[in-house]
A = this chain, B = another copy of it.
């Protein structure tokens, strides 16, 4: 497994905004404006994130009139499920850790 693969993978999925977008897409395909509404991330920012997720193969897009509808790509769902499964099972360890309490992480959490 090459470093560039690992780095690109976590670069794409490791950002909280992008992970949130992928989580939303677990439920249903969504247009940009739907994602904006669901995540409260501003439109321009969402577009940037979608280009990144597209580029790294996490999502695909189809046109529907004025809308661009994004959906999860193959293989993403089970991998996401494994991560969220781990998070749910071990969230106590995660949230009790000092790192998670560091100011620069907490302050971005609404």
Contacts and interface: CB of A to CB of B under 8 A. Distances in A.
Interface residues of A, number: 52
A67 interface: no
B4 A99 contact: no
A56 B7 contact: no
Nearest to A84: B1
A38 interface: no
A57 B94 contact: yes
Contacts of A88: 1
B95 A4 contact: yes
Contact of A87 (B9, B94, B108): B9
Contacts of A2: 91, 95, 109
